[in-house]
Amino acid sequence: MRIEYLDETTSTNEYIGRYVGARENVIVCARRQTGGKGTKGRSFLSEEGGVYLSALVFYENLPADRAFEVMAHAAVAVCRTAEAFGAAPEIKWANDVLAGGKKLCGILIGNAVKGNFLDYSIVGVGLNAENDVSALGGIAVTLSEAAGRRVTAEEARERLIAELLRPTSFADYLARVKFLGREVTVEENGRTYRAAARRILPDGRLEVGVGGEIRRLSSAEIGLKL
């Protein structure tokens, strides 16, 4: 797979789009981003010292209803990267990776569908390595802090690339989800309620119990607070 390294770009997810027409699998990395984006169009702090990369991956005959596997694979790759440096990450459904209850990275995925199949995905990952996250008000943590020693952006980046290229399974994802069996707060369609987190289905939906009712929720529908 081609790997391209940049000093700076607005967004690796935007930059990598130039390779779509060539239908080539590519990873693009940047030392910093000036216009990084998170979920729901939020800005993503991307100062030097973090890992900012996007992977463009094309598929053959991958059904669109298995799109959750793309997200799960990215989350597991981040967890394996953190574990390699001695940290103890966990996944908060659907794809937030936490360490010590604080956000370690952001994952943003765009999927292109043809008919009933995935054509390609752009998988963007912003991983805090040794960058300053103090401006985020205590909700984020760096890999260096989680590991208890300095982990450079270069070390974290190369490990993350290696992990993105390794296969993962749904079992690998579930093994790093720790909140199942607990009560959680669900924010859905403008209302908030408590529910018992039961299981995550292979298609990525979260099954919860509310009273005597079972609900199956997609990540697009809810916000989850542990």
Looking at residue 39, what is its pLDDT?
55
Rounded CA separation 6/140 (Å): 25
Contact 125, 16 (CB under 8 A): no
Domain ranges of the chain: 2-174, 183-225
CATH of domain 2-174: 3.30.930.10
Name residue, tokens 């936490």.
98
Q: Which tokens go with 72?
A: 């799960």
Q: How does pLDDT run across 83-136, given as a tens digit for each residue?
A: 999 999 999 998 899 999 999 999 999 999 999 999 999 999 999 999 999 888
Rounded CA separation 186/192 (Å): 6
159, 160, 163, 165 alpha-carbon torsion, rounded to 10°: -110
Q: Which fold has domain 183-225?
A: SH3 type barrels. (2.30.30)
Looking at residue 41, what is its pLDDT?
53
For strands 26-33 and 51-63, give the pairing.
antiparallel
pTM value surpassing 0.85: yes
pLDDT along the chain (226 residues), means of 10: 95 95 96 74 73 97 96 98 98 93 94 97 97 90 98 98 97 96 90 93 95 88 73
